[in-house]
Amino acid sequence: MAPGADATPCQGKLGNGLGKENGKKSEEDCNDLGQAKVARPPLMRHCSSHATLADPFALECATENGVKSLGKDSGFIPMFRSGSCSEMGPKPYMEDEYICVDNLSDHLGTPNAFPSAGAFYGVFDGHGGRDAASFTRKNILKFITEDFHFPEGVKRALKNAFVRADHALADAKNLDHSSGTTALTALILGR
């Protein structure tokens, strides 16, 4: 038998197994050899999601006497927990770094500096060596918290910290200037 001769003729079936036009062959459902085309999943070009957390000051909890509002003076202190995993690809050494700080006040040694709990997480994808990723991991949180705008102007403090890290990395004499990093960080302040 010649290649492709053992193929069953195209039946024009839909995804649910039902025939199209009483089982007649349709040109759009068949390829040049008369075989059924393989269905492809839909192509997703863009996907975004958005989640909003409830305002912690508007939350309520049940007590024996009824409903009590959890305001700023409720005594509830959230606890952040994290985990991490890193895998090295085909390179002979790991170029990536990460940081997980579940208790910002304890880590910085300033238990009364923040009005409520905080955390900091970061992933630093190294490029061309580990120097830039390691330098940024070691210094970015310090640069954020030392900024004049922190903690009232967090957005400005973050931007300034990354600019400062970029300049400090360029000025460092003992680091490989051919290395770089892409950073993804999360700073959590408040309840």
CA–CA dist 179, 106 (Å, integer): 32
What structural domains does the chain harbor?
A: 8-42 (no CATH), 76-189 (3.60.40.10)
CA–CA dist 85, 6 (Å, integer): 50
Tell me if residue 165 falls in helix, strand or coil: helix
Q: How confident is the model at residue 80 (pLDDT cuts 50, 70, 90)?
A: confident
**Euclidean distance between the first and final Cα of the chain, in Å?**
73
What percent of the chain clears pLDDT 90, i.e. is strictly above it? 34
* CA-closest candidate to residue 79, choices 184, 188, 186, 155: 188
Question: Over the stretch 12-56, which tens digit does the pLDDT of each residue have?
Answer: 444 444 444 444 545 555 555 555 555 554 444 444 333 444 444
